[in-house]
Structure 1
Amino acid sequence: MSALHLEPWSDAGLDVLRRQNTPAMTRHLGGPELEEAVGGRHQRYLHLEDGEMMVVRLGEVAIGSIGYWARSWDGHEVYETGYAIFSEFGGHGYATAALRLVASRAALRATRRHLHAFPRVDHAASNAVCRRAGFELVGTSSFEYPKGTWAESNDWRMDLTGLV
């Protein structure tokens, strides 16, 4: 079996974003984006300063994306994470494994204590990924994503201090 690993974001990531920009994959994220927005997202990922975006690979095959970035949340400086594994690779534990890998990378920076994920409360698969990756459910909150769209989301948190 090929090893799952994370590759730093590069121009190859644009194809990943385009493949993820389907109604099925963006159902819990407000729906597909226009091509211009996908290109803008790609540029932001290339130049992310306090965090990093990565392509999730199974051997040489790109199977999705994952990343973390700095944000203020509930009065604290934390990292937020987001991930998307192509539908055809779902159900095999790849998202959970990638989330553990990205948490370890965030912990190495040693600049923030917690990593948060905010899946919508009705997104059962994403909530299961957080639980299996070792996150603690803190509660629910009204969360804005994409900009201008508010939804009830779970607030999952992982303490990064024990990972390094």
Structure 2
Amino acid sequence: MSDRAVVRLRRWADVDLPLLHAANTVDMTRFLVAPESDAQVLRRHERYLRGWDVEDPRMFAIVDDRGEGLGSIGWWDAEFHGPVKEVGWAVLPQAQGRGVASAALRELWRLLREGGASVPMMACPSVDNVASNALCQAVGFELEETSSADFRGETMTLNWWVRR
């Protein structure tokens, strides 16, 4: 795959629970404090499923042209100097470095705009997450600020990226 990888975003479904387990490793969560317990992963999965009924969060499986799961991406309502759609993503190690995350973020932006969302999209990776910060810049986000916030009981220093 090139920088313009071809991916589809598919509405989160029961079959996607293994994607959350695959992304819940020490390596994959090193910028998110630590892996979650199995019970926490199951609660997250249920929240992702329910989000489609209550419109928040809206989570998708990132899939390739064969329907193979490559990761997850989605948005939820948040506040950052006003209302925003905060986005988060996880691309499994075997799909990293192939343009999957940038293609998925571009597609997510398209879906948000097609759906009528007029608020900015915001992402807040750890300052130490070089790849996610570079991704934000590459797909048109602008760095608004760097500040600390609590996440899973820990204080993290985050870069706050916004795309309008």
TM-score, normalised to structure 2, is 0.90
Distance in 1, Cα, partners of 2:155 & 2:109: 26
Name the structure 1 match of 2:80. Answer: 73
CA-based RMSD: 1.5
Q: 1:62 aligns with which of 55, 64, 69?
A: 69
Name the structure 1 match of 2:94. Answer: 88
The runs of at least 4 consecutive aligned structure 1 residues that moved more than 4 Å come to none
- Asked if 2 retains the 8 angstrom alpha-carbon contact of 1:77 and 1:112, the reply is no
Q: Write out aligned runs for 1:1-164 (5 A).
A: 3-48=6-51, 49-59=55-65, 60-74=67-81, 76-146=82-152, 148-159=153-164
The residue identity in structure 1 corresponding to 2:29 is T
For structure 2, the residue ranges without an aligned partner over 5 or more in a row are none
- 3-state SS in 2 of match to 1:103: helix
Q: CA deviation at 1:150?
A: 1.7
Distance in 2, Cα, partners of 1:66 & 1:73: 19
The number of residue pairs the alignment matches comes to 157
Q: CA deviation at 1:51?
A: 4.2
Distance in 1, Cα, partners of 2:99 & 2:139: 10
Distance in 2, Cα, partners of 1:3 & 1:73: 31
The residue identity in structure 1 corresponding to 2:116 is A
Moved more, 111-120 or 123-132: 111-120
- Please give the per-residue CA displacement for 1:95-151, whole angstroms capped at 9, x wherever unaligned: 0110111111122233442000000001000101111111111111212223x2221
> In percent, how many aligned pairs have the same letter?
37
TM-score, normalised to structure 1, is 0.90
